[in-house]
Amino acid sequence: MSHRHRKLILLALAGGLMAAAWLLPGASRWLLVAAAAVAGAPVVRQAWGSLRLGQFSIALLVTAAAAGAILIGEEWEAAVVTFLFVLGGYLEDLALERTRSAVRSLIDLRPRIARRKEQDGWAEVPAEAVQAGDTVVILPGDRVPVDGRVVAGRAVLDTAALTGEPLPLEVGPGDRVLSGSVCQGGYLEVVAERVGADTTFQRLIFLVVEAQEQKPKVQRLLDRFARWYTPAVMAAAALLGLLTRDLHLALTFLVIACPGALVVAAPVAIVAGLGRAARAGIL
């Protein structure tokens, strides 16, 4: 079972317990505590893992806020804040899976066969076997295997996968063509200028994979924010408790300061953006 599916099960269990608490007011306290425990289990593990590395994460603040909420009798807040944190993690995993799916789809479009021109016609060879200076023949339905220049023939190419251009592009002698373009009709002879890993399509795949392995800028910003915000809030809550000698007030401050919406903001934005890009044909 994948990590994302485990989170989905936890969300379903916690959500079911919260719904039961709403329907059964008499048992709501214990149902909500159970919901917070179910959703909070991975949060506590994440917080403990960060602490062992000497880091203050949002997970630590969520754990402290949930525990504080239960202590002051605000079980709904405890259940909701842990639920939101796990939901944010699930959406982040979903965004990563969608990105990986887009990469797999892109790799599936990679040209694999080339028709290399020979003295007595042409021969089908693996695209990796084509060398710079070779002439390749492009027929209708073929995916251009190299970056090169047209030396003979005319054809209409679909370059949407590379440039996003929705309209077919007509090319002829002297025009440059890019690997990954699809021949919709016509005949071309193309002299290869860039082959293998140097082609536009291969470099595009490399850039997408490289970008996938990096955290989004907004996520890196949130991580830096958490390193300062979490200890600052916990210190402020402790100071408030010492000055007022009011534990309830200190715990209330801790619960209020927990950034529940911030936890899900970045994953929701990323998932929405990926979905919109996919519908628009960008991914």
Q: Per DSSP, what are the bridge partners of residue 221?
A: none
How far apart (Å, rounded) are the C-alpha atoms in residues 258 and 246? 19
Question: Is 18 found in the same domain as 89?
Answer: yes
The residues pairing with 185 across neighbouring beta strands, listed in sequence order, are: 156
d(CA 88, CA 70): 22
pLDDT, tens digit, 9 for 90 and up, residues 188-239: 999 999 998 888 888 887 877 776 666 666 667 777 777 788 888 888 988 9
Please indicate, yes or no, whether residues 187 and 228 belong to a single structural domain of this protein: no
Has residue 113 been placed in a domain?
A: no
Q: What's the pLDDT tens digit per position in 71-128?
A: 888 899 889 889 988 888 888 788 777 777 777 777 777 888 889 988 887 888 888 8
The reply to whether 118 falls in a domain is no
Least confident span in 61-65, 227-231, 272-276: 272-276
158/213 same-domain check: no
Q: Of the residues 142, 159, 194, which one is the last residue of a structural domain?
A: 194
Does any domain span residue 178?
yes
Boundary residue ending a domain (165, 194, 223): 194
H helical segments located in the chain: 3-23, 28-52, 58-71, 75-108, 160-163, 200-212, 217-244, 247-257, 260-279
The identity of residue 205, as a single letter, is I
Q: Using an 8 Å Cβ cutoff, are 3 and 93 in contact? A: yes
* pLDDT of residue 21 exceeding 70: yes
95 lies in some domain: yes
Domain match, 58 and 138 both: no
26: helix, coil or strand?
helix
**pLDDT confidence tier of residue 263, bands split at 50, 70 and 90:** low
CB atoms within 10 A of CB 156: 15
Looking at residue 165, its pLDDT comes to 76
Asked if residue 7 and residue 84 are part of one domain, the reply reads yes
Q: What pLDDT, on the 0 to 100 scale, is given for residue 38?
A: 94
For residue 63, the Cα-to-chain-centroid distance in whole angstroms is 25
Does residue 52 sit in the same domain as residue 79?
yes
pLDDT band at 277, cuts 50/70/90?
low
* Predicted pLDDT at 171: 92
Say which residues have a Cβ less than 8 Å from residue 36's Cβ, sequence separation at least 6: 14, 66, 69, 70, 75, 78, 79, 82
Q: Measured between alpha carbons, how far is residue 241 from residues 19, 70, 85, 140, 247 in Å?
A: 34, 17, 26, 76, 5
Q: What is the Cα–Cα distance from 14 to 37, expressed in whole angstroms?
A: 8
Tokens of 282: 């960008």
Q: Interior CA angle at 54 toward 52 and 60, to 5°?
A: 75
- pLDDT of 213: 63
Is 213 part of any domain? yes
- The pLDDT score that the predictor gives to residue 175 is 93
pLDDT of residue 258: 76
pLDDT at 15: 92
Q: Residue 167 to residues 1, 45, 158: CA-CA distances in angstroms?
A: 43, 52, 7
Give the amino acid at 60. Answer: L
Say what the pLDDT of residue 275 is.
Answer: 60
- Per-residue pLDDT, 97: 78
Same domain membership, residue 241 and residue 182: no
Q: List b or e across 131-145, with b for residues whose CB sees 16 or more CB atoms inside 10 angstroms.
A: eeebbbbbeeebbbb
Q: Is residue 150 part of a domain?
A: yes
For 138-188, the pLDDT digits (tens) are 999 999 999 999 999 999 999 887 777 788 899 999 999 998 889 999 999
Task: Mark 239-266 as b/e (b = at least 16 C-beta within 10 Å).
Answer: ebbeeeeeeeebbbbbbebbbbeebbeb
**Contact between 147 and 193 (Cβ < 8 Å):** yes
Domain extent, residue 185, equals: 131-194
Nearest alpha-carbon partner for 35 in 74, 82, 101: 82
Residues 102 and 142 in one domain: no
CATH, residue 145: 2.70.150.10
**Stated pTM of the model:** 0.67
Give the Cα separation of 68 and 87 in Å (integer): 21
Residue 121 domain-assigned? no
**Number of compact structural domains in the chain:** 2
3-state secondary structure (DSSP) of residue 159: coil
